[in-house]
Amino acid sequence: MMLNYDDLDWSKHQNSFSPLFQFNIVSFNLLAPVYKRLQSVDITTGFRKRESQKEELWSARALRTADFFRREVLGSTDIIGLQEFWLDSAYRHIFEEEFAQAGYDVHVLKRPGKKLDGVALVIKSQDFEVLGTEHVFLSTLGDRVALLLWLKHRESGKDILIANTHLSFPHSTADRLDQMTQMQNLTGVIDTFAHRYHIDYAT
């Protein structure tokens, strides 16, 4: 069947497909408090202060975000990807407690060096079993990483490879080229992982 992709009403076409199973996935950049700049200036450095320096600010935003997840995302979503997930223990607790209460497992990969954030994949445990994990280093420019999970869908028994990353922002031509390299590195790792564990893309 040929589809007119200018017609964005999916409901007209959904019966033309027979998926083996369906799941919902969403992704959010949380803007880590260590990167969120405030208007006030730190007199010792001359630079604008970061939200992470004021607990009352970052904790309030984290609680609002966790409440949004509870009301709008959890329960109806199977997989959540997070970028700029701050690894401060109190900050992590706000989110991880919320996810755990709703039946999700949290998998986190820290960026290397002095970076204080990472990427995370939040998996609804009643729907997916985690069979394997791969930590991928993508680029020294900006210390970019990716988290790769091998999942098995419990109901259908089908395997899924899913990755979460936060590519460098393309400020310049060099950044855009590095961004392409990061994507090539990640797809290469996914192919290698699938071959190593005999995961068939067709199934």
Answer positive or negative: Cα dihedral of 116, 91, 121, 173: negative
- Evaluate if residue 123 carries a pLDDT over 90: yes
- Beta bridge mates, 161: 150
How many other C-beta atoms are found inside a 10 Å radius of the C-beta of residue 188? 11
Of the pLDDT bands very low, low, confident and very high (cuts 50, 70, 90), residue 14 is low
**144: Cα within 13 Å, side-chain hemisphere:** 19
* Residue-wise pLDDT tens digits, 45-90: 878 999 999 999 999 999 999 999 999 999 999 999 999 999 999 9
pLDDT of residue 100: 98
pTM comes to 0.87
For 63, other C-beta atoms within 10 Å of its C-beta total 13
Task: Write out the two tokens for 137.
Answer: 């280093």
> In this predicted structure, what is the pLDDT of residue 37?
95
Are the C-beta atoms of residues 145 and 138 closer than 8 Å to each other?
A: yes
Tokens found for residue 187: 């797809």
Which pLDDT score, from 0 to 100, does residue 2 have? 47
pLDDT band (50, 70, 90) for residue 21: confident
Contacts of 169 (CB under 8 A, 6+ apart): 175
The model's pLDDT over 144-173, given as tens digits with 9 standing for 90+, comes to 999 999 999 999 999 999 999 999 887 788
Pairing outcome for strands 144-153 and 117-124: unpaired
